[in-house]
Structure 1
Amino acid sequence: MANLLSDLRRRGVSVWLDDLHRAALLDGTLTSLMRQRSVTGVTSNPAIFARSIIGSPAYDDQLKELRRRGVSVDEARRALTTWDVRAACDLFRALYEQTDDGLVSIEVDPRFAYDPDATLADARALWWQVDRPNLLVKIPATRQSLPAIAACLAEGISVNVTLIFSAQRYAEVFDTFVDGMTRAAEAGHDLRRIASVASLFVSRVDTAVDQLLQLSGHPGLRGRAGLANARRAAGILAERIQSADWGELRAAGARPQRLLWASTGVKDPAYDATRYLSGLAVAGTINTMPLATLEAAAARHAAPTPDEAWPDPGTELRSLTEAGVELEAVMTQLEIDGVEAFSQAWSSLGEAIARRLVPES
């Protein structure tokens, strides 16, 4: 019997790894995951890099060289992270040339999440420094950053729009994508070379909503918000790609912005480890997962639930509203918390690098 990973691939879902670190690049672990687990892309974020770089001996040689050169903390942090991403891009390059996958993400400085000009400048710098066609520059989906996202696409920079929580914000993100791609077409860019994904976070929604349901005396509704919200976003995508504006872009060679399910590792130990995989087996989407979830899926032989058996997301979300959950308020707070968490991780990484850049006495 096929495992869950192969079943997801059969259903048209791309499997990406939500992790990137130097050791996995050097010891062949990532190559093995490509071959044995059919991993076709990689996502990273400031928290992942902080965990990977702080205290890891795999970065010692580069840190010694950076210390010898007397670079700043910001320069060192950028050099360390872009090395990993560039190496991963090279590893996935052949796959990228043959398919719509093979993409690798790196995030702009999260401290710029509410500054569109700084975000755009940082995205341009990353695109230039990594210098690989299969790079995705990750930009948080704050309302302030939407103009920067459109501007990047208009310049031919591929974008992973991240930290999307509400389906409504996803609708704004898709419209921003269409705007940016329209401007790219007007500027004469080859639309086939511009990729974009929209990363909608799933398990964090359940964590926040479940706490409110427990407090309000509606524990029976726990575990519904994340999947219902994600399925609503999939419905919005299905509607948007029927628009005339998108039809013109598609005719000009543009690739659709793909939905990427992020935060798919369960936070509640009571939940099945693969619930955000089997519950979101939507053709054309991407599921990026931490290694533990990837291995759980490889060991799982149960087939996912067919699309037609899923509860209507509108009904599910209305039941939460009737239970007193102010969903948009929850999503707004999750976005704020997400930006703050990534900013703190980025700062912690900088502090750790600063300690390791101190000249040896």
Structure 2
Amino acid sequence: MEKNKVKQIHDYGQSIWLDFIDRQIIKSGDLQRLIDEDGVRGVTSNPAIFEKAINSSDDYQEDMIRLAKETSDLEVLFYQMAILDIRNAADLFQQVFNEEVKGADGYVSLEVSPRLARDTNGTIAQAVELWKEVDRENVMIKIPGTAEGLEAIRHSIEEGINVNVTLLFGLDRYRAVTEAYISGLEARLAKGQPLEHIASVASFFLSRIDVLIDPLLEEKGLKEYQGEVAIASAKMAYQIYKEIFSSERWEKLRAAGAKPQRLLWASTSSKNPAFKATKYVDALIGPDTVDTVPMETIIAYREEGSPSLSLEQDLDKAQTILTKVKDAGIDFDLVTAKLEEEGIEKFINPYNKLIQTIENHLK
């Protein structure tokens, strides 16, 4: 019998995390089956996922009514409900977290409010609060990799909080994120505090890059590169990762027990129906990386996936693509800045809708 294709990905050193959570998938045993049968090794969540879960189920109604008696702040109420889900999922993944290399995987991510994406101090305060409230060693707090988020990332790492850096699109910002991570660890080490338990990922959003840049490529006569820029950028990011996390500076932290901040591929479902559903997953399989995928992509990969060690294949082609984009006059910095703004809005809008949904349920 052929081994499950999703599970095969882990043979190449990459971890698959599910980009979805709700109470039903936990209670029904479906999440446990994904761990056992597909080798799923973590979970990520975001406001859109919680909005869908709460709006399409009665599973939260009882908690909403109970918590509304304790607080009139609907954001506080939401996070109290979300924390229950995150704790339950984290407990389920404790078995993965406790594997031979403790803390290699088994993480569940909870995001700070998207309304704080441009608020450094607000992000710091909520990251600390959520970390304490969830009270699970295998949780990551998601902080956007905006300019304002960099200090929040550094501070959170210094405080010993696991961080999932989200909303990354460009290579320069990725370098800045690794600097925030390393600086946070160095500050912690200088205070004589342990590093062994701290984990972090840097999440690159892929398909959204191609959605925005593909029409520009057609205008510039570069249609043959449609659907390839995000993959090329991710491959170059991995080269930066290898450079930074093999440096002399990093080796001092490694010797003190620090773990590298893994790259995570997000937004890996194909937005263009002309592309294979497993396109972004197949193209970026490599050691010490994570791919967070929605349920539909896991289902598609079971049938259509082609797992292989692909992340470092065709690096010259990847560099050529990025060079051609630049030479064509496409300003990738402007593209990634626009993607960041759109990304923030795409989280704020469902978050606002989520709060409105809770209010409507309580009327």
Give a deviation string over 1:185-223, Cα, whole Å, max 9, x none.
122322111111100111111111112122333322211
SS of residue in 2 equivalent to 1:139: strand
Give the whole-Å Cα distance in 1 for the aligned partners of 2:311 and 2:136: 36
Counterpart of 1:333 (choices 338, 346, 350) is 338
Counterpart of 2:159 (choices 155, 164, 174) is 155
The answer to whether the 8 Å contact 1:3/1:300 transfers is no
The answer to whether the 8 Å contact 1:17/1:39 transfers is yes
Q: Structure 1 stretches (4+) deviating beyond 6 angstroms?
A: none
In the alignment, which residue of structure 2 is the partner of 1:351? 356
Does residue 321 of structure 1 match 2:326? yes
Q: Residues 128-167 of structure 1: matches in 2 within 5 Å? A: 128-167=132-171
Counterpart of 1:238 (choices 229, 242, 248) is 242
The answer to whether the 8 Å contact 1:3/1:297 transfers is no
Structure 1 gap segments, 5+ residues each: none
The answer to whether the 8 Å contact 2:6/2:305 transfers is no
In the alignment, which residue of structure 2 is the partner of 1:51? 52
Give the whole-Å Cα distance in 2 for the aligned partners of 1:211 and 1:242: 38
Q: Over the residues paired in the alignment, what is the CA RMSD in angstroms?
A: 1.5
Percent identical pairs in the alignment equals 38
The answer to whether the 8 Å contact 1:3/1:299 transfers is no
Give the whole-Å Cα distance in 2 for the aligned partners of 1:216 and 1:58: 50
Give the whole-Å Cα distance in 2 for the aligned partners of 1:2 and 1:326: 43
Q: Residues 1-361 of structure 1: matches in 2 within 5 Å? A: 1-98=2-99, 99=102, 100-300=104-304, 302-304=306-308, 306-307=310-311, 309-312=313-316, 313-358=318-363
Shift in Å at residue 71 of structure 1? Answer: 3.6
Shift in Å at residue 274 of structure 1? Answer: 0.9
Give the whole-Å Cα distance in 1 for the aligned partners of 2:205 and 2:177: 14
Shift in Å at residue 306 of structure 1? Answer: 4.1
Shift in Å at residue 323 of structure 1? Answer: 2.6
Shift in Å at residue 324 of structure 1? Answer: 2.8
Shift in Å at residue 67 of structure 1? Answer: 3.2
Shift in Å at residue 26 of structure 1? Answer: 1.3
Give the whole-Å Cα distance in 2 for the aligned partners of 1:265 and 1:302: 15
**When the two structures are aligned, how many residues end up with a matched partner?**
358
Give a deviation string over 1:40-88, Cα, whole Å, max 9, x none.
0000111111111113111122122123445421221111111111111
Shift in Å at residue 307 of structure 1? Answer: 4.9
SS of residue in 1 equivalent to 2:196: helix
Give the whole-Å Cα distance in 2 for the aligned partners of 1:24 and 1:4: 21
Shift in Å at residue 275 of structure 1? Answer: 1.1
> Residue type matched to 1:322 in 2?
D
Structure 2 gap segments, 5+ residues each: none
TM-score normalized with structure 2 length: 0.95
SS of residue in 2 equivalent to 1:345: helix
Give the whole-Å Cα distance in 2 for the aligned partners of 1:177 and 1:70: 35
